Amino acid sequence: MPKRQANIKLDYKHRLIDVNEIDPSPFQVRKFFDDDKQKELAESIKRDGLIEPIVVRRKGRRYEIIAGERRFRAVRDFTEMKNIPAQIVKATDLEARRMSTAENLQREDLSAIETIEAIVEIVDAELIEDKQYAAIGKNPADRVKTLLGKLDSVRRSQERGSSVSKQSKSLSHKFMGQVEKIFKNFPKPLEWRSFYNNDLPILMDISEEVRKVSIQKGLNRSQIRALETLKEVSSEEYQRVTACCQGSPNSVIEPDTRDYSQLDIKDLSAREIEGVAEKAAKKEGLAELNRARVSPSFCLEKVILMMSRLGIPVERIAARLKINRKTAKKYSENVRFIQSIKKSLNKGHACHKVAEEHRCSEPLVWSIALEGKSDLDRFKALNWGLRTWDLWNWNDCDKRFG
């Protein structure tokens, strides 16, 4: 844990404070408190007393929790105790934030997401007084991601022997040592590059829905990634899995292999969730191809390739065609089909004949034929085709694909 808490002054006289005069911490990383576990803790407190006082600080005429919010909530919500033992701390907002997040990080029952958030909070709290750091993002996660990304880029460039700009060198010289020290001083020392490349993407990339489920169910990193993949592939299957694992008796995903309605989602391994996602992806892909075959003039994979070569992002293609992103990405990189067209062109076949042969649009063939040509060569040898492709590109793009 970062050592800068040494400046905080504690009043070691335990005081009994009215629970109604205490407010939760605004810096609390833990977002979910399981009622059953809280009741167990409350019973333990009733039986043995509160062994470790909570830590609070004065906030006007009231008190604000710094450490011990779980114990406080157990006493307030599930016992008849009116007062709670507490230590009063003299601490600024920044010091209180550091104490609260560091205390949370030492808890073993934090979920994977909450642990990552706690690390982000601590790193941000340690660096936030620096104006250059404070200006690189609007919230802790953005600031930490931006800084670590810049440091990682500098480190990679140095490892490759590439040149690094003076600005990047200055940033690295200023923050590298601080960042390494912060990560080294955690209760369980971490390597900041591993955190940036493996852990931080989980926090930044998952949807809010998956985030809530992962916190409530205490999912590990692999389970979170698998669940997010399932949600991207098929929202229907995602809803079925989460409904089943919350005890819904009418939803069983694979009755021939396992009764998921009797399980909590945390009992499913990442591999099992990935298996459901793979089956859903295959099912979804077949359904999309079947829809495409309804009309002979409409071929999904070729339309996706065409849209991709027009420069339309995969996300927009998926949204426009109402397909999942993995399918859109798969067909936007249809190397085999492109090679087949190139093979026909190399044989000297005319573009319109190649289009007929491959049952695709002529502009798509022209886009492949003109690929890699210099502007001079394109105007000199393929002027008609260039004009056809460019006009189709600019004039018909919105009309055809929105």
Do both 238 and 258 map to the same domain? yes
Please indicate whether residue 257 or residue 199 has the higher confidence score (pLDDT): 199
Query: What pLDDT band is residue 388 in, cutting at 50, 70 and 90?
Result: very low
Tell me what pLDDT residue 378 has.
56
Query: What pLDDT band is residue 180 in, cutting at 50, 70 and 90?
Result: very high
Do both 96 and 118 map to the same domain? no
Please indicate whether residue 148 or residue 248 has the higher confidence score (pLDDT): 148
Q: Which of 150, 183, 205 is the last residue of a domain?
A: 205
Tell me what pLDDT residue 311 has.
76
d(C-alpha 195, C-alpha 161), whole Å: 24
Handedness of CA 377, 380, 385, 388 (dihedral sign): positive
Do both 125 and 195 map to the same domain? yes
Do both 42 and 31 map to the same domain? yes
Work out how many domains the chain is built from and give that number.
4
Residue with tokens 């499913």: 268
Do both 308 and 263 map to the same domain? no
Q: Between the ranges 61-70, 291-300, 373-382, where is the mean pLDDT highest?
A: 61-70
Structure tokens given for 226: 């698998």
Do both 144 and 212 map to the same domain? no
Do both 284 and 325 map to the same domain? no
Do both 13 and 37 map to the same domain? yes
d(C-alpha 378, C-alpha 372), whole Å: 9
DSSP 120-158: HHHHHHHHTTSHHHHTT-SSHHHHHHHHHHHHHHHHHHH
- In tens, the pLDDT along 210-247 reads 888 888 888 888 888 888 888 888 888 888 887 755 54
Tell me what pLDDT residue 144 has.
93
Give the CATH number, domain containing residue 67. 3.90.1530.10
Average pLDDT (97-118) is 76
- In tens, the pLDDT along 299-316 reads 677 788 888 877 788 888
- In tens, the pLDDT along 283-296 reads 766 555 454 443 33
Contact between 242 and 276 under an 8 Å Cβ cutoff? The reply is no
Q: Helix (H, G, I), strand (E, B), or coil: what is residue 105?
A: helix
Q: Which of 27-31, 184-188, 237-241 has the lowest mean pLDDT?
A: 27-31
Contact between 346 and 354 under an 8 Å Cβ cutoff? The reply is no
Tell me what pLDDT residue 244 has.
58
Contact between 66 and 55 under an 8 Å Cβ cutoff? The reply is yes
Do both 32 and 50 map to the same domain? yes
- In tens, the pLDDT along 259-286 reads 554 567 777 888 888 888 888 877 766 5
Do both 313 and 390 map to the same domain? yes
Structure tokens given for 352: 């319109």
d(C-alpha 352, C-alpha 105), whole Å: 65
Cα angle 110, 116, 121 (rounded to 5 degrees) comes to 105
Do both 121 and 201 map to the same domain? yes
d(C-alpha 267, C-alpha 67), whole Å: 31
Say whether pLDDT at 1 is over 50.
no
Share of the chain above pLDDT 70, in %: 77
Contact between 317 and 308 under an 8 Å Cβ cutoff? The reply is yes
d(C-alpha 28, C-alpha 119), whole Å: 12
Average pLDDT (313-335) is 80
Say whether pLDDT at 382 is over 60.
no
Q: Which of 263, 290, 317 is the last residue of a domain?
A: 290
The single-letter DSSP state of residue 347 is T
Structure tokens given for 48: 């043995």
Do both 320 and 357 map to the same domain? yes
Say whether pLDDT at 143 is over 90.
yes
88 φ, ψ to 5°?
Answer: -100, 130
Q: Which of 182, 205, 228 is the last residue of a domain?
A: 205
Q: What range does the domain containing 396 cover?
A: 296-401
Average pLDDT (13-32) is 78
Please indicate whether residue 352 or residue 47 has the higher confidence score (pLDDT): 47
136 φ, ψ to 5°?
Answer: -90, 0
Give me the sheet containing 54-59, strands edge to edge.
Answer: 9-18, 83-90, 54-59, 62-67, 22-23
